[in-house]
Amino acid sequence: EGVGPQEYTAIKFEVEKWSDRLKDSEFVQKLKEREKEGKVFMVAATLRPETAYGITNVFVGEKIEYGAFEAPNGEIYLSTARAAKNMAFQGHSRVKDAVNQIATVVGHDLIGTQLQAPFSEHKKVYVLPMDNVSSTKGTGIVMSVPSDSPDDYVSVMMLKKKPAFYGIEVEWVQDPIAVVDTPTYGTRAAEMVVTQMKIQSAKDVVQLSAAKELVYKEGFYNGTMVIGKYKGMAVQEAKPLVRADMLAEGTAFAYAE
């Protein structure tokens, strides 16, 4: 882990339709009773909010336990209990109060849930599984940007190859979107580096970590936005502007840990 606190942007994805796996579940029942009090969102923590235009899906860990927590503004957020506690100290959750954990669900049962993603070119995105999601980082929910993240690209590639094996529909895996242009790797930096390094699986952790380093550095320091309000601007300059817009619109909030 790094030295100082990480300043994440916590992006909110409103739940459009729960997975069929949650049909008749106590989880959905409990939320139904509360939904009139506030909309339900899955919350993903990112260090690269300017890549949100390229979100194709959201990842959860199948074995990770998530809770639904009431926020002071009346909205309901899905995250790990650990993150909800951090949010409480930062004014975004009431989980300090035990009564404010509304319901609990395991990641496996969230697969196939449909979410609204107004900031992405794909307005509807699905929840998909990823082995490398950590339960002790961010909210335990990851926004997937396969154009600019080798982790996300490899996971999406594996899901697309064997949808039945992973228990998903192939249509839930949507196409990458060009977000950032880089001098060395073009607009599909993650795909280019993963292909060049012949990375076949998320289990190639050493290679994948080298790919991440290359893609992140090139995208963040040498990249130019090719989409959205800040098209043509350097990524480094666009990042704080996109973040500020999302915070102002209420589609995201600041989250540190």
Return residues touching ligand A2H (CB under 6 A): 6, 45-48, 51, 132-134, 137-138, 140, 142-145, 148-149, 152, 216
Q: For helices 150-161 and 205-222, what crossing angle results, to 10°?
A: 130
CA distance linking residue 180 with residue 107, whole number of Å: 30
Q: Which is nearer to ligand A2H, 132 or 201 (CB)?
A: 132
In the complex, least distance from residue 36 CB atom to ligand A2H, rounded to whole angstroms:
31
Residues 6+ apart with CB under 8 A from 195: none
In the complex, least distance from residue 155 CB atom to ligand A2H, rounded to whole angstroms:
10
For residue 193, how far is the Cα from the chain centroid? 21
Q: Which is nearer to ligand A2H, 7 or 249 (CB)?
A: 7
Residue 16 burial (C-beta neighbours within 10 Å; 0-12, 13-18, 19+): middle
Q: Which residue in the shown chain puts its C-beta closest to ligand A2H?
A: 138
Q: Which is nearer to ligand A2H, 19 or 144 (CB)?
A: 144
Show the tokens assigned to 230. 């800040």
How do strand 57-60 and strand 124-129 relate by DSSP bridges?
Answer: parallel
In the complex, least distance from residue 47 CB atom to ligand A2H, rounded to whole angstroms:
4
In the complex, least distance from residue 163 CB atom to ligand A2H, rounded to whole angstroms:
21
In the complex, least distance from residue 74 CB atom to ligand A2H, rounded to whole angstroms:
25
Q: Which is nearer to ligand A2H, 145 or 225 (CB)?
A: 145
In order of 19, 127, 168, 198, 227, the CA distances from 48 in angstroms are: 27, 19, 27, 25, 15
Q: Which is nearer to ligand A2H, 25 or 197 (CB)?
A: 197
